[in-house]
Chain A
Amino acid sequence: MKKRQYAFYPGCSSQKGASASNFATSIEVMCEKLGIQLNEIPDWNCCGASIGYGEGGLLPRLVINARNLALAEQHLPGQDMVSGCPACWLSTRETAEKLHESSDLLAGANEALKEAGLNFKGTVRARHIVEVLVEDVGFADMKAQVVKPLEGMKIAGYVGCQTNRPFGIAGESFENPQYLDKMIETVGAEPASGYEQKVTCCGGALAFSEPDKSQKQIRDIVESAYDHGAEMIVTPCQLCQANVEIYQSEINKKQGTKLAMPVVYYSQLMTVAYGGSLKQAGLNGHIIQPEKLKQIASRQK
């Protein structure tokens, strides 16, 4: 099968030894099975995330993103740029759109890019891996690869903010997007229906600067998953994954709760369902162990 080619923008959190390194691991088998070839953009840089605005300001923020777009355009011509991280995707797509709309900003960005020997023409489309899965691959083909359905698992699909707003996945509603639940069904598990914290904000980057306010959000997100009988949360977002998994022990310590809800990526579900090993699914990268998923991954068939 001829593979689909994409210019891949991994982002800082997916680097080796970083907070979402297990996400990076888990997409390998998934992409292999689905005929997706991710070609890493050479020497890509940080997108500025959602808090780059404070010090960065408009043009410097646009320029760091334009550098990645320009590198993709130059080294991987004709390929859509794809990111697995919502914040990276959002920053890149916003930049591509702003530079497209304003010739003044584009001129400024190119004046700065010249200092790094680059130029951006504006031909690259910035997409998210979930768009590739839903729009290019499709649910039927995602399902066709399942060899180990995750039967008997009830999972809360937590979409969070930035995979969903302001751009989101085409055709989905902002308040109640369905694609993540469909992906859960695709791998043979049951989505926790009526999970009302599906698009609640986890606090984002403010989990660091405003821990108490963010932990209130996180507690709601986890408790609602329990209330709906879920044994696990799945998310497409690196920051959501990290925040919701990591701070449960803090909340327990401060508030006497007993939260211990595993939080994984959709790509980990798919890798296990596609027959990947525990390690290939990055399941050795958790603080709260997704035991049942690990058992399925370790099972022969």
Chain B
Amino acid sequence: MSDSNKQAIAHYRNNFLKEVEDHVEDGEWVRMCMQCGVCAGSCPFGPHWEHSPQKIFMMIRAGKREEVLSSDSMWMCTSCYNCIVRCPRKLPITHIMHGLAHYAHRLGIAPKGQPTREIARLFWVNLARTGRVNELKFSLAMYFKDGFVQGIKNALAMQGIGIGLMKARRLNPMELLGGHKCKDKDGIHKMIAKAREIEERKQKFV
């Protein structure tokens, strides 16, 4: 178990709601949920959510820490914002789902190999490197995330699409050699590092 996860457990004992309120983006809203169930029917990938947002809020209040944080559910969020505009209590549900996923990820207890967790990580790495996202490098990283052999298979399966996009000039093979980037890369690196440092300071379990 990661150190930060051990510290979190030691610090909050059985008060998971408080932990969420303190450490998860918009977590202080969770107690406003009135369990009406409207959000539960709003997710495009609904059948694939083991626990709907409504259920997750209930579980947080019931102190089901392990079950919530190791759940695959939040990673099914497509950021469609259906829930936000429908919730009668105006909970920023999308942000709470993102916040829970991020929190589980930083504590190292999010499900391993979860594909959206993986692309989220790759996407951020890609953007933080140059300030802009390079679609080709990002796609290749995606294909190869499960190892070399699977990567070749994935890339071959999508080859037709890639060639189609190249013909339409919407995928540029030259991007591999450099591609788009910001001029002030250094400034961006320092800025993100500082933001992380401040975030980490806030996230300390004291």
Residues from 260 to 297 in A contacting B, C-beta threshold 8 Å: 284-287
Residues of B within 8 A of A209 (CB): 115-116, 118-119, 142
Given contacts A22-B170, A63-B195, contact A46 B81 (CB under 8 A): no
Closest to A287 in B: B164
A50 to B191, CA, bound (A): 20
Q: Which of B84, B86, B187 has the most CB of A within 10 A?
A: B187
Structural contact, B172 and A16, CB atoms closer than 8 A = yes
Q: In whole angstroms, how far apart are the Cα atoms of A123 and B139 in the complex?
A: 36
B137-189 residues at the A interface, CB under 8 angstroms:
139, 142, 160-161, 164-165, 167-172, 174-175, 180, 182-184, 187-188
State whether B165 touches A287 (Cβ < 8 A): yes
Contact of B199 among A21, A45, A60 (CB under 8 A): A60
CA distance in complex: A206, B48 (Å): 13
Interface of B: prevailing SS: helix
CA distance A287 to B171 in the complex (A): 12
Judge whether B13 is part of the interface by a CB distance below 8 angstroms: no
Contact with B along A104-131 (1 / 0, CB 8 A): 0000110111111110000000000000
Q: How far is the CB of B14 from chain A (nearest CB, A)?
A: 25
B40 vs chain A, min Cβ distance (A): 16
**A174: min CB distance to chain B, Å:** 4
Q: Please tell me the number of chain B residues within 8 Å of chain A, measured between CB atoms.
A: 65
Bound complex: CA of A200 vs CA of B42, how far in Å?
10
Q: Are A204 and B78 in contact (CB under 8 A)?
A: yes
Which of A111, A112, A214, A217 has the most B CB atoms < 10 Å from its CB?
A112
Task: Kindly list chain A residues whose C-beta atoms are within 8 Å of the C-beta of B123.
Answer: 49, 51-52, 54-55, 205
**Cβ of A189 to closest chain B Cβ, rounded Å:** 23
CB within 8 A of B101: which of A53, A111, A115?
A53
User: What chain A residues lie within 8 Å of B182 (beta carbons)?
Assistant: 43-45
What string of 1s and 0s marks CB contacts (under 8 Å) between A1-38 and chain B? 00000000000110111111110000000000000000
Q: List 27 A-B contacts (CB under 8 A).
A: A16-B172, A17-B171, A22-B170, A43-B184, A45-B182, A51-B120, A52-B123, A54-B123, A56-B102, A63-B195, A67-B191, A108-B199, A112-B192, A115-B187, A116-B184, A166-B94, A168-B85, A203-B78, A204-B79, A204-B80, A205-B116, A206-B45, A206-B76, A210-B115, A246-B161, A249-B164, A287-B167
